[in-house]
Amino acid sequence: MITDKVHIKDLLVRTIIGINPEERVKRQDVLINITMHADLRAAARSDDIADAVNYKTVAKQVIEMVENSQFYLVEKMAGEVVAIRLRDPRVTRAIVTVEKPGAVRFAQSVGVTIDRRRNE
């Protein structure tokens, strides 16, 4: 069993997100954390980006999708990020957390985590 992982931590993106009318007008910050399970042995041997899960490319894809979205729920956003990640055949499992800072009074943030495997 391969336990290699690639992480993107605290990716800050501004987007329209929420169910309340005021949330549908002004962009808000969301924090996205992504863990991708993949076999990294080839990249570790070759030192070639072509053999790796390119985290810069991943971040760009996620930023573009989120910035151009207008989801109502963080659950939907997290699900879409997971779906993007599982399109890469090297990624066998993706764990995505989306947090919305300041969404609930007296809480630093609220969020959801979605954990999916390729075969699900």
Tell me, rounded to whole angstroms, the distance of Cα 117 from its chain centroid.
14
Confirm whether pTM is higher than 0.75.
yes
Quote the radius of gyration of the chain (alpha carbons, Å). Answer: 15
In the chain, domain spans: 5-117
Distance CA 41, CA 59 (A): 22
* φ, ψ at 90 (rounded to 5°): -75, -20
Architecture of domain 5-117: 2-Layer Sandwich (3.30)
> Per-residue pLDDT tens for 41-86?
999 999 999 999 999 999 999 999 999 999 999 999 999 999 999 9
